[in-house]
Amino acid sequence: MDRPATAHPATARDIILEIVRNMREGLEPLHYSTLPPAIFHVYLHPDDMERLRGILPRIVEEARRALDAELDTLNRASITEKLKLSRRSDPKIVVPEGGWQIRILENTDDDAAPGDLMISSELALPAKGEFGSGSMTKRIATRRMGGVESTKQTYDAAPAPSAPAPAAGTFAVIEYDDQTGRKSYQMAKDEIVVGRGGRDYWTDIKLETLPDVSREHFRLRRDPASGQFFLKDLSRLGTTINGEKAPSSIEFEGSEKRDRNLEAPVPARARIGLAGVVFLEFRSTANG
């Protein structure tokens, strides 16, 4: 798939305007108020990140001011509509209780280009008790790639009930939450690949999550002779096993990478963390 040519690297103003656009795209009207997303993760190409690193705190500060100003503008427009009495205006947009939380991070995707901007924001929605459903998280992903803007919204429901008992021939059960909800995977072969996947990246467990998680984040291998499991970390931002950092098997030299074939043993029960963003609950079925 051809991608648009990027006209110029991302500027500080580009970043602020894209954060404001993401907020507008993510507004959620209730009956008496309208909620905006509160948590923003901004992903920049490494070249843009390096060039802007010295002013990142200033960008965050001015982005918060720009979000406040945009809310004022939108709310004033709402009041104007109310005075027209032609229709009921949208409820007033309220500032998040904890304020605007903005993090600017490096985009580790191999296909990212200078000038590309990706923002993932989150909005916690209240539980709808009258329908018997739990709380949900609304996620808004906006992209500006080669000057072309796009938006995607998803809703992440509360965790589902526990998964059924593993089928015969299952070596391990892996449970996790990503942006599409609660999942369970039954490992029935001796090696699997876990990550975000992509056109050129096969994964057995394909995670719908932030770019902090690499497209091919780690491999999990079972030794048929001993039944012991081993993890090979292939990511840029790391993998943990029960809170302990696994050794990286990949050595990066610029755009090149070399696999050193390093593995870490995985206990029969383990909590595996991917870049501190997604956590997998691993359980070997060898001991039930």
**CATH number of the structural domain spanning residue 266:** 2.60.200.20
Do residue 127 and residue 62 come from a single domain? yes
> Whole-angstrom Cα distance, residue 43 to residue 210?
9
Question: Alpha carbon 158 to chain centroid distance?
Answer: 17
Range of the domain at 241: 172-284
**In the prediction, which pLDDT does 164 show?**
65
Question: Alpha carbon 122 to chain centroid distance?
Answer: 9
Do residue 33 and residue 135 come from a single domain? yes
pTM for this predicted structure: 0.65
**In the prediction, which pLDDT does 264 show?**
97
Total domains present in the chain: 2
Q: Name the nearest CA neighbour of 19 among 35, 38, 5, 4.
A: 38
Do residue 128 and residue 184 come from a single domain? no
Do residue 38 and residue 84 come from a single domain? yes
Q: Report residue 77: phi and psi, to 5°.
A: -65, -35
User: Domain boundary at 106, 132, 157, which?
Assistant: 157
Do residue 120 and residue 176 come from a single domain? no
**In the prediction, which pLDDT does 60 show?**
97
User: Domain boundary at 94, 124, 157, which?
Assistant: 157
**In the prediction, which pLDDT does 256 show?**
78
Report if residue 166 sits inside a domain: no
Do residue 138 and residue 17 come from a single domain? yes
Q: Report residue 49: phi and psi, to 5°.
A: -60, -45
In order along the chain (288 residues), what is the average pLDDT of each group of 10 residues? 61 97 94 92 94 96 97 81 55 90 89 91 68 65 87 73 72 92 93 91 92 95 96 95 96 81 96 96 85
Report if residue 3 sits inside a domain: no
Do residue 279 and residue 186 come from a single domain? yes
CATH of the domain at 113: 3.30.2320
Report if residue 217 sits inside a domain: yes
**In the prediction, which pLDDT does 82 show?**
53
Report if residue 223 sits inside a domain: yes
